Amino acid sequence: MNRSKIIGATALASVMAAGAASAEMSINGYFIWYVDR
């Protein structure tokens, strides 16, 4: 029970981190494209 909770929390944290990183990349890419235009 305790171990599965830790695994679930780790998986959730890594998914959230990946989502935040991809969102940041797309925002930065859009901003660079907008400035270059």
Per-residue pLDDT tens over the stretch 1-37: 689 999 999 999 999 988 888 888 888 888 888 887 7
Helix (H, G, I), strand (E, B) or coil at 15: helix
Residue type at 23 in one-letter notation:
A
pLDDT at 29 (0 to 100): 84
pLDDT at 33 (0 to 100): 80
Dig out the tokens for 20 from the structure: 């935040």
pLDDT at 1 (0 to 100): 67
pLDDT at 26 (0 to 100): 84
Q: What's the alpha-carbon Rg for the chain, to the nearest Å?
A: 16
Sign of CA dihedral 24, 22, 34, 36: positive
Question: Taking the model in full, what pTM does it have?
Answer: 0.55
